Amino acid sequence: MAIPVSHPALESAAELAACLESLADEAGAQDLQGLQDATWMLAEALHEAPEREPDPEALSLLRGWPELAAAYRRGMAAILPAMRQVLRHPALGLPLSEEEFDWLEARLAEGVPAVERAEEPAAHLDETPAFALDEAPAPSAEDLPSQASGLDVAPVPAQKALQGLPRQAQELIDLLLMQAGAVAAVLDNAESDPEAARDEFERFGNAARTVGLEGLAEAAAQVAANLHAGAGPELRALVAEWLAEAQVYLTAFTEPEAGAGLVARLADPRWPLVLAAEAAAAILARMRGPDTQWWQEAGPVRAATASAEEVSLALPADVNPKLLGILLRELPVHTRQLAAIAQRLQTGGSPEDIDTAQRIAHTLKGSANTVGVRGVAALTHQLEDILLACAKAGQVPGRALRELLLDAADCLEGMAEALLGQGPAPADALAVLQRILDFANRIDREGLPEPDAELDAVASALEAGAAPIAVPAAEPAPAVEESAAALVQIPVEQVEDLLRLSGESLIFNGQAQERLRRVKAQLQAMQAQFEQLRLLGQELEELVDLRDWSGRAYGRVRADFDALELDQYNELHTASRRMVEAAVDAREMGLDVVAELARMDEALDYQQRLVVDVQEAVMRARLVPVSTLLPRLRRGLRQTLRLTGKKAELDFEGGDLAIDGEVLGAIAEPLMHLLRNAVDHGLEAPEERARRGKPELGRIAVAFDREGNHALVRCRDDGRGLDYAAIRAAAEARGWLPPGQPASEQELARMILRPNFSTRAVSTHISGRGVGMDAVQAQVAALGGTLALRSVVGVGLTVELRVPLPLSRSHALLVRVGSQRVAVASRGLDQIFYSGVGQLHGPEDALEWRLDGVPYPAVRLGNLLRFPGSRPVPDPPGAILLVRTADSATAVLADAVFDSRELVVKDLGPYLPKLRGLMGATVLGDGTVTAVVDLPELLRAPGQPVAVAADWAEAAAIPEVPDVLVVDDSLSQRRALEQLLADAGFRVKSARDGMEAAEILAKEWPLLVLTDLEMPRMNGIELTAHIRAQPEGKSLPILMVTSRTTQRHRQLAEDAGVDAYFTKPVRDDDLLDKLHGVLAGAIAGPVRRGAG
């Protein structure tokens, strides 16, 4: 009986039940409800008879279920009959009625994922299900037709003949087996599409030749010739049988009799073209001596000894913080998953676990390589190879490997924690890597050891001297790792909340201080009153004393009465004295309160300083040094220079400036565009520069600065400047400017900011495609910023971007304008004069203010700031603010300046764009919101500079058709490619796998597709086949970037129709060169083998 490949690891019914339950959960998580229900049924069947000795046949059936489920999840509808037979098998005795069976099977059939993979089994060859449950003799060389059932989804297990071959060789054979499956799949449709079947067969032959199996290739060519010569079900059956035989050969081609059956079959008289005996003998000779020498040379050589550098967690100096952030987010999740799988494998596990672990290792390797964390990359690289070998062999790891996987997972978790600053770097990293290397090298030499032999293998490796290197217990972490320890991931929203709350604290602190000031003022008044009271009391006391004294002077006084006797004093004396004492006490108490309030004032001041510190600390959390952009700018410049053949160097100023990370990220793309434009349009060719007397080396200067609440970015080149004549010609050609109509240089300069403007007749991918400066302007406008151009013909062009920062601190004057208060940022304020200084002359619409004989144009603040219901400003004004603009000074007349302080300036929120003349708004101590005015900007007459405010309609009109579609399942790889291509001037769209890419392609076709090979759901090969199958996709350039280095993968890619194949790590320049070449139509043929 041909049972699906079963899992020996699942020995006991309990283990099997647990495995099935886990499988059902996974199916549920993938929304494969049919599979989930069926798997639960099977698990319950085991649970329902716990006391009973499980039927061995039932167990055997159930052990094969995970394999069926895996095939089902890969979208192979062909295994449905086999699943049906398992479910209905009497040995299982599922308590279902016929109707319920039908319902369950219908759910299974409906739920097959819509993915047809290249390795679709040969079940299409005939109506025989791939996993036939009927009893059949074990395959033998004499019983070749029965081998047709070997063309199923599972890898052919009997590969003992290959076990001595290197890993690469085994991979190549696996490839051929896969290709055999692909041929079988199309054979099913050979009647309707015979050409496809012939093509696939030729590919199979080519693949065989590529791997050195010349005999097989020739035999395949014979079959292909037969397919050309004939058709019909009999021929298809012959081909199917031959393919089955080919599979047998592939698993045993090193055997003495290998290939005999394969060649003998071609002599069958039923073939349209029967192989002649001489030709058969020649083919057979080649079949027994395959040229596999190069296998030994193929692929990179694996190191024998791990080095300390390979486990280093040091980050590269020019690490991309964005990619690092992604890695730090991915890393803990993936390492946790890997650890869970390693743990699960300790008690069994399944081949799916191995597949998942391999994919995780692959993803981590890619991400770590992209960011440059060598320790994680090296460990996962070796781990992936081991897991791949296990997956290919369909073998669950034995004890030794399981323990090694667990150690590796622990080590990776430790590395993740170290990178996240949650712990030290794992001390055993080097030892773990060495053990993994030893194991991987052993697989290379001897193949994957049998589970039982693993322990011996490791033991013998230890004895042979490949012992793990002794590592000092606590290796000190490098300095960079220490800096990594400070990294904490906090969502931006949380930082914003902290900032808002600290702002609120500051407001309430301000309110408390305000109340304190009032209390102090009231206390001062009270003190004055107490003093008054004390004086009055004193006066009264004197009066009382005087009257008494007078009385004593004029009345009768007994001679025997002492003047000091009490009865000489009446109640008035007592009251007046008590009043004086009370007044003095009240004053003393008042002084105590004053002292207490002073201490409270100090406490509030201290609290204010603390809150300001907190606020600044939180603000700093959002800030990123501008210098982090420098590597990206240099790379972009280098690439553009290479493409244009020009020479230039980059000056970078303001690198120490720290600005909001999101703003910096948003500025990066327009800035890269400016840089490319500066090279492509601005700088002259070296010869022309020489003619003009300019240095051969052009200069491009990028300078960052902060101006109030704005980031100011200037990109300056020393090229030819704007070519106004060419701009005019282009504008006239587009009908934007009537021919001959005068236009100022400023007006002409604005033309280049219009959508689709280009002075180029031919577009390039560097710039000049008409989506250049308008895109820059739209991006800047979307940030609420402005773009200004300053060009001098023959000297160069400066493009200035002013982008508001979402939040900042600024010093400001609080000014009264009519009944309103505004904060005037001190930026541009030269001097402040109070009423009475200087003289005001002239009519209201042409006011002039003179100071020491120097006239200044004057304007009332109330006229600059039109508030509803504002009243005329008193004359003379309460304060005169002398504001310095670019080339002059203006006197701004304000009602009064009543305070000056540091403010937190906020932007106006998501619904209000930048308003002219406003830096933002602030919340004052009493909770009121006040506009923060930027006087220099307000004084600039609208339209005076070549500054373009936000034009959302134009921004929205920019076409969104992508240039390049990036397809990769690794987020960090995707982001890295997106950034590289965006920096090179391409519009990029990305997809997580082939399925998502296909969905995008159903709506729009890019200029080029850049895809990974291995991806879930639909891989790169399948995607390429999908694209090539459509008329629009026949000539679409497809580039593949993968970590797969073997020739077989290249061959697969070529066969599918990939235009260029790159193996990671790929140099950015190489990739971009090829990309430009492909787009320019320079590529002459398919795969360039040496590329990358």
Partner 1 sequence: MESNPQQPAAPLPNPARQATWFGFRVGRFGFLVPEVLFGEVIEQAQVNPLPNTQAWFHGLCNLRGHLVPVFDPHRLLGEEVADPRKRRLFAIGRGERAVALWIDGLPELRDAAPQPPTADLPLPEHLRPHAAGVHREGERLWLVPDYGAWFKALGRSLAST
Q: Is 868 a residue that touches partner 1 (CB under 8 A)?
A: yes
Beta bridge partners of 1040: 1011, 1061
Least distance from partner 1 to the Cβ atom of residue 869, Å: 9
Quick one: which of 388, 436, 396, 442 has its CA closest to 412? Answer: 436
Q: Give DSSP secondary structure letters for 427-443.
A: TTHHHHHHHHHHHHHHH
CA distances 23 to 43, 286, 1029, Å, are 10, 45, 35
Quick one: which of 406, 408, 345 has its CA closest to 379? Answer: 408
Which range in 18-26, 288-296, 475-483, 906-914 contacts partner 1 by CB under 8 A?
Answer: 906-914
**466 vs 918, which CB is nearer to partner 1?**
918
- C-alpha to C-alpha distance for 858 and 220, rounded to whole angstroms: 93
Least distance from partner 1 to the Cβ atom of residue 805, Å: 15
- C-alpha to C-alpha distance for 77 and 123, rounded to whole angstroms: 10
Q: What is the DSSP letter of 679?
A: I
Least distance from partner 1 to the Cβ atom of residue 27, Å: 31
Binding test (CB under 8 A) with partner 1, winner from 50, 93, 909, 943? 909
Which range in 292-300, 634-642, 905-913, 1067-1075 contacts partner 1 by CB under 8 A?
Answer: 905-913
Beta bridge partners of 625: 658
Q: Is 913 a residue that touches partner 1 (CB under 8 A)?
A: yes
Phi then psi for residue 951, to 5 deg, are -125, 95
Q: Which two tokens stand for residue 927?
A: 């909770």
**90 vs 869, which CB is nearer to partner 1?**
869
Q: Is 917 a residue that touches partner 1 (CB under 8 A)?
A: yes
Q: Is 957 a residue that touches partner 1 (CB under 8 A)?
A: no
**58 vs 950, which CB is nearer to partner 1?**
950
Which range in 205-213, 364-372, 672-680, 925-933 contacts partner 1 by CB under 8 A?
Answer: 925-933
- C-alpha to C-alpha distance for 973 and 325, rounded to whole angstroms: 13
**675 vs 950, which CB is nearer to partner 1?**
950
Q: Are 1079 and 986 in contact (CB under 8 A)?
A: no
Q: Are 330 and 363 in contact (CB under 8 A)?
A: yes
Which range in 41-49, 387-395, 594-602, 865-873 contacts partner 1 by CB under 8 A?
Answer: 865-873
Q: Give DSSP secondary structure letters for 951-962.
A: -HHHHHTS----
Binding test (CB under 8 A) with partner 1, winner from 11, 191, 257, 504? 504
- C-alpha to C-alpha distance for 834 and 851, rounded to whole angstroms: 12
- For residues 603 to 632, the per-residue mask of contacts with partner 1, x marking binding by CB under 8 A and - elsewhere, is ------------------------------
Q: Is 956 a residue that touches partner 1 (CB under 8 A)?
A: no
**601 vs 616, which CB is nearer to partner 1?**
616
**399 vs 916, which CB is nearer to partner 1?**
916
Q: Is 785 a residue that touches partner 1 (CB under 8 A)?
A: no
Least distance from partner 1 to the Cβ atom of residue 916, Å: 7
Q: Which two tokens stand for residue 781?
A: 């406008």
Which range in 227-235, 296-304, 578-586, 946-954 contacts partner 1 by CB under 8 A?
Answer: 946-954
- C-alpha to C-alpha distance for 329 and 920, rounded to whole angstroms: 34
**154 vs 859, which CB is nearer to partner 1?**
859
Which range in 139-147, 215-223, 319-327, 908-916 contacts partner 1 by CB under 8 A?
Answer: 908-916
Least distance from partner 1 to the Cβ atom of residue 949, Å: 7
Q: What is the DSSP letter of 124?
A: G
Which range in 118-126, 360-368, 455-463, 912-920 contacts partner 1 by CB under 8 A?
Answer: 912-920
Please report which residue ranges of 188-292 form alpha helices under DSSP H: 194-210, 214-229, 233-251, 260-266, 277-288
- For residues 462 to 501, the per-residue mask of contacts with partner 1, x marking binding by CB under 8 A and - elsewhere, is ----------------------------------x---xx
Beta bridge partners of 967: 991, 1011
**155 vs 828, which CB is nearer to partner 1?**
828
Least distance from partner 1 to the Cβ atom of residue 773, Å: 21
Least distance from partner 1 to the Cβ atom of residue 500, Å: 4
Binding test (CB under 8 A) with partner 1, winner from 90, 910, 1081, 1090? 910
Least distance from partner 1 to the Cβ atom of residue 868, Å: 6
**690 vs 912, which CB is nearer to partner 1?**
912
Q: Is 181 a residue that touches partner 1 (CB under 8 A)?
A: no
Binding test (CB under 8 A) with partner 1, winner from 644, 820, 826, 885? 820
**558 vs 866, which CB is nearer to partner 1?**
866
Quick one: which of 381, 374, 367 has its CA closest to 323? Answer: 367
Q: Is 893 a residue that touches partner 1 (CB under 8 A)?
A: no
Q: How far is CA 527 from the centre of its chain?
A: 66
- C-alpha to C-alpha distance for 131 and 154, rounded to whole angstroms: 10
Q: Is 195 a residue that touches partner 1 (CB under 8 A)?
A: no
Least distance from partner 1 to the Cβ atom of residue 663, Å: 16
- C-alpha to C-alpha distance for 1021 and 964, rounded to whole angstroms: 18
Q: Is 867 a residue that touches partner 1 (CB under 8 A)?
A: yes
Which residues does 701 contact at the CB level (< 8 Å), separation at least 6? 650, 651, 652, 653, 714, 715, 716, 717
Which range in 99-107, 406-414, 537-545, 924-932 contacts partner 1 by CB under 8 A?
Answer: 924-932
- C-alpha to C-alpha distance for 382 and 440, rounded to whole angstroms: 7
Q: Is 929 a residue that touches partner 1 (CB under 8 A)?
A: yes
Max CA pair span of the chain: 170
Binding test (CB under 8 A) with partner 1, winner from 371, 923, 1010, 1058? 923
Binding test (CB under 8 A) with partner 1, winner from 950, 988, 1036, 1040? 950
Q: Is 933 a residue that touches partner 1 (CB under 8 A)?
A: yes
Which range in 75-83, 231-239, 862-870, 972-980 contacts partner 1 by CB under 8 A?
Answer: 862-870
Least distance from partner 1 to the Cβ atom of residue 936, Å: 16
Residues that bind partner 1 (rule: CB under 8 A) add up to a total of 37
Quick one: which of 718, 901, 759 has its CA closest to 826? Answer: 901
CA distances 133 to 43, 103, 417, 731, 871, Å, are 20, 22, 49, 76, 95
Q: Give DSSP secondary structure letters for 311-344.
A: G--PPPTT--HHHHHHHHHHHHHHHHHHHHHHHH
Q: To which residue do tokens 């042979």 refer? A: 464
Q: Are 6 and 62 in contact (CB under 8 A)?
A: no
Binding test (CB under 8 A) with partner 1, winner from 346, 460, 756, 928? 928
Burial letters for 896-906: b for 16+ Cβ neighbours within 10 Å, e otherwise? Answer: ebeeeeebbbb
As separate numbers, helices (DSSP H) first and strands (DSSP E) second, the chain gives: 35, 23
Q: Is 914 a residue that touches partner 1 (CB under 8 A)?
A: yes
Taking residue 535's Cβ as centre, other Cβ atoms within 10 Å add up to 12
Phi then psi for residue 824, to 5 deg, are -105, 115
- For residues 1021 to 1040, the per-residue mask of contacts with partner 1, x marking binding by CB under 8 A and - elsewhere, is --------------------
Phi then psi for residue 672, to 5 deg, are -60, -40
Q: Is 912 a residue that touches partner 1 (CB under 8 A)?
A: yes
Look up residue 254 and give its amino acid. T
Least distance from partner 1 to the Cβ atom of residue 682, Å: 31
Least distance from partner 1 to the Cβ atom of residue 910, Å: 6
1030: left (phi over 0), alpha (psi -120 to 50) or beta: beta
**306 vs 923, which CB is nearer to partner 1?**
923
The residues binding partner 1 (CB under 8 A) are: 496, 500-501, 503-504, 507, 817, 820, 822, 864-868, 906, 908-918, 921, 923, 927-931, 933, 949-950, 952
